[in-house]
Chains A and B, each alone.
Chain A
Amino acid sequence: MSYRFSFADKEIAAEAGQTVGAALIAAGYRSWRTTRHNGAPRGIFCGIGVCFDCLVTVNGRANQRACLTEVRSGDRVEPQEGAGRADLAQ
């Protein structure tokens, strides 16, 4: 069974039980956010939820660890910049 979710205007396929992070890696992505100070790209590093590098916005909720978040069909996944809460910036 395959799920599909959207990411940066593309549709990505994921297998049942796969995480957003794994699906993105399988689809060829290595980064989906930039850091606060240097704007450097980050993706998965530790893969088990310890390092908080792989943060991504899922269905409007920022700072989800992509390596722990299981894909649900129809999810809307977006890359993040900096602290990820652009809705709060003034």
Chain B
Amino acid sequence: MPTSPSSPTSNNNTDSNNADYDVTVLGAGPAGLAAAVAAGTAGARVALLDAGNRVGGQYWRHRDEDTGAGHHHWSTLRRLRSAVLTGPVDFRPGHAVWHVSRADHGFTVHITDGREIRTTTLIVATGGYDRQLPFPGWTLPGVFTAGGAQALLKGQGVSVGRRIVVAGTGPFLLPVAAGLAEAGARVIGVFEAGSPDGFARHPGAVLTNLDKLAEGAGYLRTLLRHRIPYRTRSTVIAAHGVDRVHTATVARLDADWRVLPGSESQLDCDAVAVGYGFTPQLEIPLQLGCATRLDADGSLVAVADDQQRGSVPGVYLAGEVCGVGGAPLALVEGELAGRHAAYRTVAAVPDRRAVGRLLRRRSALRSFAAAMHASYPVRPGWLSWLDGETELCRCEEVSVDTVRRSVVDLGATDPRTVKLLARPGMGLCQGRVCGYATACLVAHLRGRPTTEQDLLGISTRPIAAPITLGTLAEG
């Protein structure tokens, strides 16, 4: 049963309350597209912002001439893209948001070129990015994230190498490997650190999401066709080379991801594509003070209710930002958010049957996501792959030993203090890449599990995108 929607704001006249838009959607991936179209269709004045030049986000990375081969749910993208480009949504590409502040009219969205957009209601659909686990040699040129290899292939038509090792954990490794193979690269193998037979333990989730199973089976068929080995309980534990990678050490792992002694083998390669799940892009919800929680995959996510509302009035959340769960879930959450945001702002009453249908679909997709997280957990043994010199923080070149010293010698007890003392997370990426690993390492050194507070302490970023001091001063 759908819960009753939130009451509309008493003043929903855009002109008199000084807002440029009724609803502004941040992020034009599946969630943002669905949200913008739903809100626009309901009669709200909608802006859809994206830092990039095209709609689609990461999931639908494409080039202008793409026909959809190699993409999933392409017809959905085409429908949404068409609705956005021809309908009542203002799509604003090249709009990177560095800060969102609360205001009398609702929110002011600050763009890195100095522009500001005033909106009554905000929908945050900023997606996620690859989660990384450091290993010796991971900073060598030629080592890419799985998402980076995918982005280069789908968005740029470029393969990251000719002999590629794909490794990490999670179902995403399959489309990455399949895509590279179809593009003519030699994928030496796919090395999955976990052993995802866990799906067998979640039959209900699997049965209600047979299309996902079919998708997975399709990728496996592609791997078979290209004779690409798919090995479980194995991963890349080191990369070697001088100015670029030429060899990857692959090892077999036990259930905790510790290396099985003697199982290491060296693979000649010119690229490694590695990923260990995803983590949401949370800067804007955190700037606004939205509540967060630790999701089943160990990622910090923003809390969203049945209407996709965050804990701050006027903020809606959809997609990876409120829990990594893939594109179909993002589409559902986006549509829910768009409908409810429109009700809040322009009193467009959502169709109860549609909302009910969306909520049921959301529930099914969430249980699949939960099953997926349970099947591909990150196991703590990865810490044993590190040596003292391994760079935990790529930007500031902070080694594992330096981090260890800050805990053992200098008395740091949490990742934020470690960041202030040893500088991991103080570089240009502000901890986006090393944050999760730093939190895990520090908690491990303190003999305790990683907590939500650990991640929260290093995830707030008042400056969410690069901005010059000149642009800041002019505002």
Which A residues form the contact surface with B (CB < 8 A)? 15-19, 21-23, 25-26, 30-31, 35-38, 40-53, 55, 63, 67-68, 70
Contacts and interface: CB of A to CB of B under 8 A. Distances in A.
A22 B156 contact: yes
Interface residues of B, number: 37
A65 to B, nearest CB: 8
B130 A46 contact: yes
A29 to B, nearest CB: 9
Most buried by B among A36, A41, A50: A50
A90 B52 CA distance: 36
Given A47-B144, A53-B394, A15 B157 contact: yes
B156 A19 contact: yes
10 contacts: A15-B157, A18-B158, A22-B156, A43-B142, A45-B144, A45-B433, A46-B147, A46-B433, A48-B147, A51-B433
Contact of B158 (A26, A31, A68): A26
A48 B27 CA distance: 14
Contacts of A25: 152, 158, 160
A15 B156 CA distance: 9
Contacts, number: 99
Most buried by B among A35, A47, A49, A50: A47
A21 to B, nearest CB: 8
B395 A52 contact: yes
Contact residues of A: prevailing secondary structure: loop
Contacts of B397: 35-38, 40
A36 B393 CA distance: 13
Given A42-B141, A43-B141, A48 B58 contact: yes
Given A48-B58, A52-B427, A31 B51 contact: no
Nearest to B147: A48
B141 A41 contact: yes
Contacts of B148: 44-48, 67
A47 B142 contact: no
Contacts of B141: 30-31, 41-43
Contacts of A38: 397
Contacts of B139: 40, 42, 45
Contact of A50 (B129, B157, B160, B396): B129
Interface string B113-148: 000000000000000011000000001011111011
A1 to B, nearest CB: 11
Contacts of B142: 30, 43
A13 to B, nearest CB: 12
